[in-house]
Chain A
C-alpha cells in the first residue's frame, strides 16, 4: 500500500475525570498493527486540562506520547479539541488516526473528516489485512449484518468499539513530547457552562469482569434487588436491558446493548432477559454467558454457555446460596 510518505499512527486517547478512557487505550492495539504495516510509531495523543495520570497510562502502551495541556481542552470543549486534533494531525502527518467510539470520538473524527476530506470507519469491531487491502469491520442494522469496508483516503481514520480490541502489552515508558496549541477565540462557538452528575456511583460496565443483567422478566423494581445481590456477591456490576430502564428499575447508565454499552466481561449472567438482538449485540463477546429464563425458547439461550430454564425469582436465590457455600469452602 502506498502510504504517501506517512508513517506514524496517531491515537486520540480521551480523558475522563483525569484518567485515560479504556477504549482509548484499546485503540492503541489496532494502531500497533497498522504501525507494523507503515513502519512508523504509535503516537498516543492526550489533550486536556491536567494530563499527568492519562499520560502515565498511555506512555507504557505506545512509542511516543504527545501531551497538549490547556484549560481550553477541558472535557466538553469539543470546538477546542477538534482544533487541537487538527493541528496535531498537521504536525505529525500520520498514516492513520484512531479514537474510541465514544460521543467525543465520534464528533471529533466526523468534524476532522469534513475538514480534511477523509472517509472514516465508525464503531470498528475488527481490523483485517488481505494482501494490500486494509479492511475495517463495522456493524450495520444494529449488528445483524457486518460490513468490511475499505477507506479510500489518507490518513486512514477510524473509531473503535469498546471491548473489541485488547490494549497492547505494557512496555518501556515512551518519550513524552509536550506541545502547545493556541486556540483562536473565533474557533469556540459553544461552551460547557455546567457539568451535572445525576448518577452518583460510577458504573463501569466496560471494565467489569462480571456483569449480572436483569431484564423485563425480573418483573419489578423490588425483584431487581436480587440482580444486585448476585452482582455484589460476584464482585460484579449490574447491567440492564432497555425495558428495565424504561420501567425505571435502574438508571440508564446500566444499559447493555446497541443503545447502551457494548461489554465483554469474563462472566455475564442474564436474568429474565429474552435476548433481543438490540441487547445481544452488546454482550455476545462475553467470555462465559449464563442465562436464566422461564421461556425455554427465549433467544438468549442461543448465545448462552449455560441456560437455566426456570423462574428467575426461584433460581437466583438458590444460585446465591450455592455460590456463598462454595466461597466458604
Chain B
C-alpha cells in the first residue's frame, strides 16, 4: 500500500490558551507548536498498516519552515519520505484552500512517481479549530472515497476495510482505493522515536514544494471572516460548603439543592 500522510502543526493542546489581557490577540507566546494529536494517531495507524501489508509512507505538511519539524518527527517513526508544502501565498488558506493545496501537491507527487497513492491518512480534526472538514474536503477535491473516524484499518481485495467509531460501537466500512481516511483515537498510543531513528531522520532530505511547482494550488479567498475574538463569559462560582464534618456539608448541600428545586 502506498500511503500519503497529511500533518498539521498546531499550538500545544495540553496548554490552556487565552487572550492577551484587554486585546483580541490570542496569547501564543509561551506555547510551542506540536504535531496535531489526531495526526500522530494517523501516523501510528499508517505505520502499523504499512508494517502489516507493506508499502511506503510519504508525509506532507502545509506550513512555514517550522512545519519541517512535523515531517522530521514522522520520518523518525514510520514515514519514508517527506515534503514541506510552503509558500507565503499559502499562509492565509482556510480549510478549503488547504485541501486544494494539498490535493495539488498529491497530484504532483503522483505524476513524479507515476502511480497514485492508495490511502491518504489524516487526523479527524485539528485540535485548534476542530472543524473536521479537511479530510472530507480533500477527498472531494481528489475525487476519492472517504471514511471518517477510523480506529482500525485493514486491506481487502478491492481496497480497504475500516472500523469507524460510532456512538454505540462501530461501523465496518469498505471502500475502493484510492481513499482518504480520517483517524480518531485508536486503542493504542503513538510510538516514540529512538535516538537512532531520530538521527537517521535528521539526515533525510525534505524537499519544499512551493506555489510555483504546484499547478492549481491556490489559497483562494477565505470564505469565512473572523469578526471578533473573545473569551467566554465565566460562570459565576456559587457557594463552597466546608462544615465541621463532611456529613454536615453533605446534608447542607442537599438542603440547598432542594431549595433550588433541582431534586
Interface residues of A (CB under 8 A from B): 16, 76, 78-79, 103, 106-107, 109-111, 113-115, 117-123, 133, 135, 138-153, 189-199, 202, 234, 253, 258-259, 266-267, 277, 284, 287-290, 296, 301-311, 314-316, 318-319, 322-323, 326
Contact = CB atoms under 8 A, between A and B. Distances in A.
- Identify the interface centre among B95, B239, B262: most chain A CB within 10 Å of its CB: B262
B157 interface: no
Given A310-B250, A319-B250, A146 B232 contact: yes
B120 to A, nearest CB: 13
A152 B251 contact: no
Contacts of B87: none
Contact of A253 (B18, B130, B168): B168
Contact of A110 (B127, B133, B229, B230): B133
8 contacts: A110-B133, A119-B223, A141-B13, A141-B16, A189-B179, A284-B235, A301-B237, A304-B237
A114 B168 contact: no
B197 interface: no
Interface in B235-251: 235, 237-242, 246-247, 249-251
Contacts of A284: 232, 235
B130 A318 contact: no
Nearest to A196: B169
A149 B222 CA distance: 12
A194 B172 contact: yes
A189 B144 contact: yes
Contact of A117 (B128, B175, B223, B232): B223
Contacts of A118: 223
A320 to B, nearest CB: 9
A197 B237 contact: no
Contact of A287 (B161, B251, B262): B262
Given A110-B133, A123-B131, A152-B225, A303 B237 contact: yes
B221 interface: yes
A4 B250 CA distance: 60
A76 B171 contact: yes
B258 interface: yes
B186 interface: no
A269 to B, nearest CB: 9
Given A120-B133, A144-B17, A192-B173, A302 B140 contact: no
Given A199-B169, A301-B240, A305-B260, 7 more contacts: A16-B167, A110-B136, A149-B224, A153-B223, A288-B257, A309-B242, A315-B249
A195 B251 contact: no
Contacts of A144: 16-18, 231-232
B226 interface: yes
Interface in B84-105: 94-96, 99
Contacts of B251: 318, 322
- Identify the interface centre among B129, B161, B250, B258: most chain A CB within 10 Å of its CB: B250
Nearest to B11: A141
Interface stretch (B48-56, B145-153, B199-207): B145-153
A324 to B, nearest CB: 10
A190 B249 contact: no
B240 A296 contact: yes
Contact of B137 (A103, A110, A151, A199): A110
